[in-house]
């Protein structure tokens, strides 16, 4: 987990409003820039060439190249963003989505965003789907969420469904959700499969929203595939972007809908 090569689970630990510090001159960044300068200016060209051809350097290059190459790169066209509106943050996005709706949050963690969905979007039904199956997002979180939302669960407004997104989603009827918010492992493969399934599970004209519409979390050394999966889905299925958020920390959210609604 956490390596460039493995694209594992993700981190969505940066909370709303937390200061972005990706571009700061951290000691790591300074050492890396210093090393690059030394390499380029002090080493003679012949030695640089020998080093460049060394198996270990080739191996490092390959591991970076392969990871990007595994993810399809599909370009959006103007029509995919013709109706796109930018909103400030996730709360503004929730306020823009339909109220009194049948909603799912897929990837719940400890339920903090679930509470914000209830507050800002006022859904009539909220389904919370999560596997809670690793060290960070462990099984104890299901109880944390249950405690946090006990009144809403008792009233039947909120339900918890434990399991993998692509398994749990098949248990819902087609055309069931008004909108969903997707926030699971952020890999290309998972996101691609989730979008395919969700497009059957949302009503015609329904919205699929989700988190981390970015290419990676470089602080955590995680390459995501959300942008590629979402854009590919839009191009192949005639869907369009209707909202993106615009937070300073750049953990942006997206919302897409089938064209023509
Ligand atoms: C980034 S957190 C969700 C954060 C939450 N939406 C929020 O904004 O506070 C990701 C969650 O997705 C869950 N998850 C990851 N992959 C999953 C999958 N394939 N199916 C279901 N849940 C998954 C993890 O257990 C974790 O709780």
pLDDT at 207: 98
Residues 4-50: tens digit of each pLDDT: 333 433 333 333 333 333 344 556 656 667 777 777 777 888 887 88
Asked whether 71 lines ligand 1 (CB < 6 A), one says no
Asked whether 183 lines ligand 1 (CB < 6 A), one says yes
CA-based end-to-end distance of the chain: 40
Asked whether 165 lines ligand 1 (CB < 6 A), one says yes
Q: How far apart are CA 13 and CA 145, in angstroms?
A: 17
pLDDT at 68: 64
Query: Nearest Cα to 200, choosing from 239, 252, 231, 242?
Result: 239
Q: How far apart are CA 119 and CA 111, in angstroms?
A: 13
Residue of the CA atom closest to atom 15 of ligand 1: 184
Query: Nearest Cα to 165, choosing from 179, 153, 180, 150?
Result: 180
Asked whether 142 lines ligand 1 (CB < 6 A), one says no
Asked whether 224 lines ligand 1 (CB < 6 A), one says no
pLDDT at 149: 98
Q: How far apart are CA 96 and CA 85, in angstroms?
A: 10
Give the ligand 1 atom nearest the CA of 109. 27
Map tokens 């981390």 to a residue.
212
Q: Output DSSP code: residue 78.
A: G
Residues 91-119: tens digit of each pLDDT: 999 999 999 999 999 999 999 999 999 99
φ and ψ at 212, to 5 degrees?
55, 55
156 C-alpha vs ligand 1 centroid, how far in Å?
22
164 C-alpha vs ligand 1 centroid, how far in Å?
9
pLDDT at 69: 67
Choose the residue to mutate in 105, 112, 131 for probing ligand 1, maximizing ligand atoms within 8 Å of C-beta.
131
* Residue spans of the chain under pLDDT 50: 1-24
- Cβ atoms of 201 and 103 within 8 Å: the answer is no
φ and ψ at 201, to 5 degrees?
-85, -20
* Cβ atoms < 10 Å from Cβ of 200: 13
Angle, nearest 10°, between helix axes 55-69 and 45-53?
Answer: 60
Q: How far apart are CA 82 and CA 216, in angstroms?
A: 25
232 C-alpha vs ligand 1 centroid, how far in Å?
22
Residue of the CA atom closest to atom 25 of ligand 1: 132
Q: How far apart are CA 8 and CA 221, in angstroms?
A: 10
Asked whether 184 lines ligand 1 (CB < 6 A), one says yes
* Cβ atoms < 10 Å from Cβ of 36: 10
Kindly report whether the global pTM for this prediction surpasses the value 0.85: no
- Cβ atoms of 128 and 110 within 8 Å: the answer is no
pLDDT at 94: 98
Residue of the CA atom closest to atom 11 of ligand 1: 107
Q: How far apart are CA 167 and CA 128, in angstroms?
A: 14
């Amino acid at each position: 987990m956490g390596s460039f090569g493995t694209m594992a689970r993700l981190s969505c630990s940066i909370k709303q409003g937390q200061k972005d510090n990706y571009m700061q001159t951290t000691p790591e960044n300074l050492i890396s820039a210093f090393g690059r300068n030394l390499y380029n200016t002090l080493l003679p060209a012949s030695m640089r060439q020998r080093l460049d051809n060394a198996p270990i350097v080739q191996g490092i290059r390959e591991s970076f190249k392969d990871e990007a190459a595994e993810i399809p790169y599909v370009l959006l066209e103007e029509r995919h963003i013709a109706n796109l509106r930018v909103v400030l943050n996730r709360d503004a996005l929730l306020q823009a989505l339909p109220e009194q709706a049948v909603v799912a949050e897929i990837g719940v963690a400890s339920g903090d965003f679930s509470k914000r969905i209830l507050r800002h979007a006022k859904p009539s039904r909220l389904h919370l789907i999560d596997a809670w199956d690793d060290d960070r997002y462990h099984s104890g979180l299901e109880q944390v969420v249950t405690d946090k939302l006990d009144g809403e669960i008792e009233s039947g407004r909120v339900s918890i469904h434990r399991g993998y997104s692509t398994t749990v989603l098949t248990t819902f009827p087609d055309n069931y959700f008004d909108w969903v918010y997707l926030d699971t492992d952020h890999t290309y493969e998972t996101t691609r499969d989730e979008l395919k399934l969700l497009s059957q599970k949302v009503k015609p004209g329904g919205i699929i929203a989700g988190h981390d519409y970015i290419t990676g979390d470089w602080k955590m050394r995680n390459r995501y595939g959300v942008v590629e999966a979402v854009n590919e889905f839009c191009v192949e299925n005639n869907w369009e972007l209707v909202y993106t958020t615009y937070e300073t920390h750049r953990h942006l959210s997206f919302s897409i809908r089938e064209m023509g609604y």
